[in-house]
A and B are shown apart, each in its own frame.
Chain A
Amino acid sequence: MMQTQILELLYLLASVSFVLGLKWMNHPDSARRGNLLAAVGMTLAVFGTIFLAGEGGSGMSNKGIILLGLVIGTAIGTVMARRVKMTGMPQMVSFFNGMGGACAALISILEFREMQHAGGVEHAIELVTGSADGGSAMKLLIIFAGLIIGAVSFSGSIIAYGKLEDKIKDRVLPMQQLVNLLVFGGALAIAGLMVGGQLEGTLWLYITLGLALVYGILFVLPIGGADMPVVISLLNSFTGVAAACGGFLYDNNVMLMGGVLVGSAGTILTVVMCNAMNRSLTNVLIGNFGGNKGGAAAAKSGSGGTIREVSATDVAIMMKYGQKVIIVPGYGLAVAQAQHVCHELEELLEKEGVEVKYAIHPVAGRMPGHMNVLLAESNVSYDKLVEMEHINPEFNTCDVVLVVGANDVVNPAAKSDPSSPIYGMPILEVENARQVIVMKRSMKAGYAGIENELFYQPKTGMLFGDAKATLTKLVNEVKTL
């Protein structure tokens, strides 16, 4: 009895640690503590469950196997998380998310098996004929919810992982929407019939599982690689809901609290990410960004202007003798792994008395905040990273803006051209600066597939080449000047 009470207290502490942990993550100074707090809460809940839950509070049976599983999972998880490169963070998160989803689906399968052993399924059928309580049908409903959500989250996350690793290409099937609808509808229909009692047998459970897995793949496959952060965030909240289903199943408050918390926080985060790109969630999930409209806009503005190419030496002189330089890092910087040499350039310029700042667009890189993580990794001071709202008024006092591998986030068409697919997206107003230097590999359009008129403006100079190689050249030029 006493054990159960202690366990309840532990669960309460764990729940509080999750909420407080997320709250502390609101500020860079306390964020790390927040994460540790949530981890401690999780540890309490896990070990409390193993040793205090179960009949008479004597803990779980099969303790040996459980502990073995924990040890193996911890070992693999720690090694993977420690080894992954900072640029690979988003796919790592996606991978771990998929594991959680798979775990939720497995729980559902096992619960269903147990229900069948106990005759619970027949029990549920009686409910429909009006002779039983609602408990079993409800339980079956939750089992299927956990199964479907968990499975979609698992297969979707793995596809998202593959896309970010560049192992899987974007692919749109013919009649994609219809196929998706049929597969998902099929899974829901079978689940519904089973809960209602018209269908029975484990086979149908596995068919539902299969359909849900296929749906997860179909759902993520056509979505562009650059939209993966939004998808991962959405799948993240799915897994949260799947965990909450488990909480319902076991009357387990900490699972319910944690699951619902992540479910709602993840959904909001997804919406916030979409807002930063000025797109609706539906648009991300269904629309092929920059399809027809983008093509038209590109054709319109693409033909005219001339670009001005500059040399690394010119740029080095401009920056060294300027007062203030703002660097706009983008996805190209991340791909080229150029964050370290970028920091080197910044330090060099600071030594020469130039003020250097970084302008961070909310969706720069592959995830909101991705740029900050990358730059912080190469020891760029946190104070130098300035968010869009705060840096925009500073551009007109700035001598040189160095755009490194960014494109759409500095496209003035977002403000001036209502026909542009990115019209209305908040951008970094780099065109207000005295000089703009754009470092790009080629004149290829950005992710949105549209031309950038910024490149054709008289004050803009283009510096072509791989971000890392070009930045290294700049560093050497500044040194030898």
Chain B
Amino acid sequence: MQILEFIHEHITYIYLIVLMIFVGIELISHVPSVLHTPLMSGANAIHGVVLIGAIIVLGKAPEDDYLSLGLGFVGVVLGTLNVVGGFVVTDRMLDMFKKKKK
């Protein structure tokens, strides 16, 4: 019963998740294997969206709670590393796929 209620309460999210799973599967099955490495790297950068969570958590930390501030700060730095590093590495990889002009 509790499960039914949970599904009822979060039905929009559940639709979102199910549809997103299909979108993810669809997107990947069409990628030529030559692009798998950049793609993995690109997906890696996208899950860096977890950075937003770190920002929220740091943003609501009380100003005198140094442990929260400290950990939140580390979280933001690590999340940014994930995002920026991920996108830059992917860009470098893809830059090499430019058609060479002769």
Q: Do A and B bind each other?
A: yes
For A369, give its contact among B35, B46, B81 (CB under 8 Å): B35
- Interface size of B by Cβ–Cβ distance < 8 Å? 83
With an 8 A cutoff between CB atoms, is A217 at the interface? Answer: no
Q: Are B44 and A46 in contact (CB under 8 A)?
A: no
A359–B4 Cα distance when bound, in Å, is 53
A379–B95 Cα distance when bound, in Å, is 11
For A368, give its contact among B37, B51, B74, B95 (CB under 8 Å): B37
For A78, give its contact among B53, B78, B88 (CB under 8 Å): B88
Q: Are A273 and B39 in contact (CB under 8 A)?
A: no
With an 8 A cutoff between CB atoms, is A188 at the interface? Answer: no
Residue of B nearest to A30 (CB): B94
A31–B43 Cα distance when bound, in Å, is 12
Q: Are A102 and B33 in contact (CB under 8 A)?
A: no
B100 to chain A, nearest CB (A): 5
B7 to chain A, nearest CB (A): 11
For B58, give its contact among A45, A66, A80 (CB under 8 Å): A66
For A110, give its contact among B2, B5, B16, B68 (CB under 8 Å): B68
Q: Which of chain A's residues have a CB closer than 8 A to the CB of B71?
A: 106, 109-110
For B89, give its contact among A31, A34, A92, A106 (CB under 8 Å): A92
With an 8 A cutoff between CB atoms, is A156 at the interface? Answer: no
A-facing residues in B36-66 (Cβ within 8 Å): 36-61, 63
The answer to whether A42 and B17 touch (CB under 8 A), given A73-B79, A76-B81, A370-B37, is: no
A-facing residues in B1-50 (Cβ within 8 Å): 2, 5-6, 9, 13, 16-17, 20-25, 27-50
Q: Are A106 and B75 in contact (CB under 8 A)?
A: yes
B-facing residues in A87-114 (Cβ within 8 Å): 89-90, 92-93, 95-97, 99-100, 102-104, 106-107, 109-111, 113-114
Q: Which of chain B's residues have a CB closer than 8 A to the CB of A84?
A: 89
For A42, give its contact among B24, B43, B83 (CB under 8 Å): B83
A39–B81 Cα distance when bound, in Å, is 13
For B27, give its contact among A23, A134, A385, A387 (CB under 8 Å): A23
A263–B59 Cα distance when bound, in Å, is 26
A: interface residue count bin: 35 or more
Q: Which of chain B's residues have a CB closer than 8 A to the CB of A76?
A: 77, 81, 85
A246–B48 Cα distance when bound, in Å, is 11
A104–B78 Cα distance when bound, in Å, is 10
For B76, give its contact among A69, A232, A272 (CB under 8 Å): A69
**Chain B interface helix/strand/loop/mixed:** helix
Q: Are A28 and B48 in contact (CB under 8 A)?
A: no
A275–B8 Cα distance when bound, in Å, is 38
Q: Are B93 and A78 in contact (CB under 8 A)?
A: no
Q: Are A70 and B52 in contact (CB under 8 A)?
A: no
Residue of A nearest to B27 (CB): A22
With an 8 A cutoff between CB atoms, is A32 at the interface? Answer: yes
Q: Which of chain A's residues have a CB closer than 8 A to the CB of B76?
A: 65-66, 69-70, 73, 103
A370 to chain B, nearest CB (A): 5
Q: Are A246 and B53 in contact (CB under 8 A)?
A: yes
Residue of A nearest to B34 (CB): A372
Q: Are B68 and A255 in contact (CB under 8 A)?
A: no
B54 to chain A, nearest CB (A): 5
A107–B59 Cα distance when bound, in Å, is 12
Q: Are A69 and B28 in contact (CB under 8 A)?
A: no
Mask for A249-269, Cβ within 8 A of B = 1, else 0? 110111111111111111111
Q: Which of chain A's residues have a CB closer than 8 A to the CB of B86?
A: 77, 81, 93, 96
With an 8 A cutoff between CB atoms, is A430 at the interface? Answer: no
For A53, give its contact among B34, B59, B84, B93 (CB under 8 Å): B59
Q: Which of chain A's residues have a CB closer than 8 A to the CB of B99?
A: 29, 381-383
Mask for A358-380, Cβ within 8 A of B = 1, else 0? 00101000011110110011010
For B28, give its contact among A45, A102, A265 (CB under 8 Å): A265
The answer to whether A39 and B45 touch (CB under 8 A), given A110-B75, A369-B33, is: yes
Q: Which 6 A-B pairs have the closest CB atoms?
A: A73-B80, A60-B59, A264-B24, A69-B76, A376-B96, A246-B53
7 contacts between A and B (CB under 8 A): A19-B27, A50-B59, A70-B76, A77-B85, A250-B56, A262-B47, A264-B23
Extra pairs beyond A66-B76, A69-B76, A81-B89 (4, CB < 8 Å): A49-B55, A78-B85, A97-B82, A107-B54
Interface residues of B (CB under 8 A from A): 2, 5-6, 9, 13, 16-17, 20-25, 27-61, 63, 67-69, 71-100, 102
